Amino acid sequence: MSRKADILDIQGQEQQLEESERRAKLSEKQEMDDWKWLMSDKRGRRIAFRLIDMAGVHRPSIDQNTAAMAFKEGKRWFGTLIMEKLERHCFDRYLDMLKESK
């Protein structure tokens, strides 16, 4: 049986909010550490570069078939998301990846 929130229990609500914020911060730190770990080694940087390249980030997603275009755009969005994470969490290693890919 699930517990219903007591709208009059302000202290309980504040504790739940604090716990939720604590979990979110921990999750964000773990994600940042994971990206840093991946990018700390040349093999990880090659994997990240291949994923971005396979996603077609630097290729147009235009297609006369709208379903194909939507699919390509979805892949492109995912690659862009990876790039954004790398730029935010380990920019220096992201630059190393770009240099090594040449």
pTM: 0.77
Task: Kindly report the average pLDDT of the chain as a whole number.
Answer: 93
Q: Cα(81)–Cα(37) distance, rounded to whole angstroms?
A: 18
User: Does the pLDDT value for residue 2 go beyond 60?
Assistant: no
The mean pLDDT of 48-55, rounded to a whole number, is: 97
Q: Cα(62)–Cα(31) distance, rounded to whole angstroms?
A: 32
The mean pLDDT of 85-102, rounded to a whole number, is: 96
User: Max alpha carbon distance in the chain (Å)?
Assistant: 61
